[in-house]
Amino acid sequence: PANKSLLVLPGDGIGPEVIGEVRRVVDWMDKRRAVSFNVEEDLVGGAAIDKHGIPLADATMDKALNVDAVILGAVGGPKWDELPFERKPERGLLRLRKEMQLYANLRPALCFEALVEASSLKPEFVSGLDIMIIRELTGGVYFGEPRGIETLENGERRGINTQVYTTSEIRRVAAVAFELARKRRGKVTSCEKANVMESGVLWRQEVTKLHGESFSDVELEHMYADNAAMQLVRQPKQFDVIVTDNLFGDILSDEAAMLTGSLGMLPSASIGDVDDTGRRKALYEPVHGSAPDIAGEGKANPLATILSFAMALRYTFDHGEDADLIEKAVQQVLARGIRTADIMSPGATLVSTEDMGKALLEELDSLAA
Q: Based on CB atoms, which residue is closest to ligand IPM, 64 or 359?
A: 64
The least distance separating ligand IPM from the CB of residue 250, rounded to whole angstroms, comes to 5
Query: Cα-Cα-Cα-Cα dihedral of 344, 123, 129, 338, to 10°?
Result: 20
Residue 249 contacts ligand NAD per CB under 6 A: no
**Other beta carbons within 10 Å of 292:** 16
Query: Exposed, middle or buried, 274 (CB in 10 Å: 0-12/13-18/19+)?
Result: exposed
The least distance separating ligand NAD from the CB of residue 113, rounded to whole angstroms, comes to 20
58 catalytic residue (yes or no): no
267 is in an annotated binding site: no
The entry of ligand NAD, Mn ion, ligand IPM, none near residue 300 (CB within 5 to 8 angstroms by kind) is: ligand NAD
Position closest to ligand IPM via CB:
90
**E strands, 260-334, in order:** 267-274, 280-286
Beta bridge partners of 350: 339
Residues listed for the chain: 369
Interaxial angle between packed helices 58-66 and 89-99, expressed in degrees from 0 to 180 and rounded to the nearest 10: 40
What does residue 341 show for φ and ψ, rounded to 5 degrees?
-60, -35
The least distance separating Mn ion from the CB of residue 210, rounded to whole angstroms, comes to 26
Q: Based on CB atoms, which residue is closest to ligand NAD, 41 or 321?
A: 41
Give the footprint of ligand NAD on residues 315-344 (CB under 6 A): 342
The least distance separating ligand IPM from the CB of residue 171, rounded to whole angstroms, comes to 22
The least distance separating ligand NAD from the CB of residue 255, rounded to whole angstroms, comes to 13
The least distance separating ligand IPM from the CB of residue 332, rounded to whole angstroms, comes to 28
Give the footprint of ligand NAD on residues 8-47 (CB under 6 A): 14, 18
Is residue 280 within 8 Å of residue 102, measured between CB atoms?
no
217 catalytic residue (yes or no): no
318 catalytic residue (yes or no): no
Q: Based on CB atoms, which residue is closest to ligand NAD, 299 or 314?
A: 299
3-state helix vs strand vs coil in the chain, percent to 5:
50, 20, 30
What distance in Å separates the CA atoms of residue 75 and residue 207, rounded to the nearest whole number?
A: 33
Out of 245, 250, 322, 342, the only residue in the binding site for Mn ion (CB under 5 A) is 250
Which one of the spans 29-37, 97-105, 215-223, 247-255 is the region binding Mn ion (CB under 5 A)?
Answer: 247-255
Residue 70 contacts ligand NAD per CB under 6 A: no
250 catalytic residue (yes or no): yes
Q: Based on CB atoms, which residue is closest to ligand IPM, 73 or 76?
A: 76
CA distances from 351 to 12, 18, 243, 359 (A): 22, 14, 36, 9
What distance in Å separates the CA atoms of residue 345 and residue 300, rounded to the nearest whole number?
A: 16
Which of the following is catalytic: 98, 187, 209, 254?
254
Which of the following is catalytic: 193, 245, 284, 315?
193
* DSSP label of 25: H
Which one of the spans 158-166, 173-181, 208-216, 282-290 is the region binding ligand NAD (CB under 6 A)?
Answer: 282-290
Query: Exposed, middle or buried, 58 (CB in 10 Å: 0-12/13-18/19+)?
Result: exposed
Burial 174-205 (b: 16+ CB within 10 A, else e): bbbbbebbeeeeeebbbbbbbeeeebbebbbe
Interaxial angle between packed helices 303-315 and 320-335, expressed in degrees from 0 to 180 and rounded to the nearest 10: 160
The entry of ligand NAD, ligand IPM, Mn ion, none near residue 20 (CB within 5 to 8 angstroms by kind) is: none
Binding site, annotated residues: 77-90, 97, 107, 135, 226, 250, 254, 289-301
Catalytic residue positions? 142, 193, 226, 250, 254
Binding site, annotated residues for NAD(+): 77-90, 289-301
Q: By the criterion CB under 6 A, which residues form the site for ligand NAD?
A: 14, 18, 74-77, 90, 93, 263-264, 285, 288-294, 300-301, 304, 342
Binding site, annotated residues for substrate: 97, 107, 135, 226
Q: By the criterion CB under 5 A, which residues form the site for Mn ion?
A: 250
